Amino acid sequence: MSILENSFALAVYFGVVLGARLIPFVWSRAYGIDNWYWKLYLEEYRRTGRIPVTLPYYLLEHQEQWYPPLFPWLVGKLPEKVEERAGWLVAPVLDALTGVLIAGYVHFVFGMVAASVTALVYALSPVLEDYNVQLNPRTLGNLLYTALMLLLLQRNLPLPAVVFAAGLLLGLIALLHKMTLQLTLFSLLLLSPFVGWKTASLVFLAGLAMAFLLSGGFYWKVLLAHWDIVTFWNRNWRWLNAHQYYDSPLYAHLRSTEYRDARLHREGVRGVLHHLKLLAGMLPASLCLFAALAIVRGDVFPESRSAFWAWFFAVESFALLTTFVPQLKCLGAGILYQFNAAVPTALLAGMLVAPGFSIWSVGAALCNGMGFLWVLRRLRQKARAGSFSVDANLRETLEKLRELPKGNVLCIPMYLCDAVAYFSRKPIAWGGHSIGFEKLEPIFPIMKIDINVFIKKYSIKYIFLFLPYAESIKKKILEENFLLIYKNNSYEILKNKHF
């Protein structure tokens, strides 16, 4: 193919992935929880020009933010008006770049048909649509992780060049996203037989050195914060996604009739089935690869491509281990690693076309397609309900809170905290971004202390309440000490009677 034809093909692959990733934003461009934290971070970075920034809005963590600094540094270079108007495009564009990277690799090695399958399977991965609809560093982390893996699996490159380039990529990942770093190190370990133990060891050391060098030593604080969050979730993984009040022993007796268990980690066979459903539902194409390997066995791939199967198994193994092994659940929800598994899954689906097993490639595309449609339906329902997004009703209530006199705020539920901090500019009883999880642990992920004791300790003046989340808490606990001062549909602002 000519240069023009190759360029056109790459542009098509990019467009396919980008088009699929833009669909959720047709209904809403205000999804997300972390999105508002990053906007606060970027605003302060632009004001001071220094990292780490200090944020005074969070009562339950250290004010100096020890989060990996690369993402806000990069996005902070965008003009504020550009970020404000087009910041929602960052995640879809980065995903599209990852898609064109893997489809381009398959295009030049296996041809256009195989590359088209790779782009389509990746574009339709349900986990990309469901998880990545906000400003966050994970998309860039996945792009760098993909580039690192492809680089290491090329066995004909000089060792010094591989160590330098891979070490630089690993260092950037370390300065970007903690969960991606954990997966990268695990992948490096499992792929060592293919890339060589010497190469893997040198890349690890080079990556660590790059992280410290590029950050001017700040990476030590990032590591301390990383250890803080890992040990926190090692103590609290049982309550991941729990209801802050109704799953608490202190307030379980106040559960409403609408309560249903939303915890990620549930007991017994029911819990195992719940996990398997989530893992398979977020990336159905992976089931086709497992089936292909089980049924066709070694014929599905020549030995020269076994390293790509090893990559696929490395990511899926990490997803399973962090889902089912108690000691590893602190490394993050296993289902979220399916986000990274979408890349080797799409690569293998495309590569299967070359040996003549395209039926499995078609199956992978169809499976992902069905999951994709289900997620789009779910996101549309969320957008209509205003769930996890700042709709007109929530924005109006937030503006009212901003107009009120100064005072500390408690949000019920906690997923409103970052949006409340951004719009109200009042101190919020929240944390979890920097170091200092010992301050957060008494109330998150479940209440371990009496809410009135907490309110008194942190001088809570206002409660910002989404009534459907905890109506019985308001009626049985809060009305004794708080007055309703504003209401808008399901959102309420309560004021402490003693202020």
Contacts of 476 (CB under 8 A, 6+ apart): 254
Instruction: Indicate the residue type of 161.
Output: A
Residue closest to 397 by CA, chosen among 480, 494, 497, 499: 494
- Spatial separation of the C-alpha atoms in residues 319 and 335, rounded to whole Å: 6
List, for residues 202-248, the tens digit of each pLDDT value.
Answer: 999 999 999 999 999 999 999 999 999 999 999 999 999 999 999 99
Binned at pLDDT 50, 70 and 90, residue 88 comes out as: confident
Query: b/e map of 212-222 (b: 16 or more CB within 10 Å)?
Result: bebbeebbebb
Per-residue confidence (pLDDT) for residue 297, from 0 to 100: 64
Residue closest to 215 by CA, chosen among 176, 158, 244: 176
Contacts of 396 (CB under 8 A, 6+ apart): 488
Query: How much of the chain exceeds pLDDT 90, in percent?
Result: 74
**Which residue did the predictor score with more confidence, 62 or 297?**
62
**Which residue did the predictor score with more confidence, 133 or 458?**
458
Domain boundaries, the chain: 3-30+68-218+266-382, 392-496
**Which residue did the predictor score with more confidence, 313 or 156?**
313
Per-residue confidence (pLDDT) for residue 381, from 0 to 100: 80
List, for residues 289-334, the tens digit of each pLDDT value.
Answer: 998 888 876 666 666 678 999 999 999 999 999 999 999 999 999 9
Place of tokens 């696929």: 312
Contacts of 392 (CB under 8 A, 6+ apart): none
pTM above 0.85, yes or no: yes
Q: What angle is formed at CA 286 by the lines to CA 284 and CA 287, rounded to 5 degrees?
A: 70
Query: How much of the chain exceeds pLDDT 70, in percent?
Result: 96
pLDDT at residue 105 above 90?
A: yes
What mean pLDDT is reported for the chain? 91
Place of tokens 């969050």: 229
List, for residues 108-144, the tens digit of each pLDDT value.
Answer: 999 999 999 999 999 999 999 887 777 889 999 999 9
SS3 498: coil
Helices and strands (H and E) in the chain: how many: 23, 4
- Spatial separation of the C-alpha atoms in residues 440 and 99, rounded to whole Å: 38
List, for residues 249-287, the tens digit of each pLDDT value.
Answer: 999 999 987 788 889 999 899 999 999 999 999 999 999
Cβ atoms of 399 and 451 within 8 Å: the answer is no
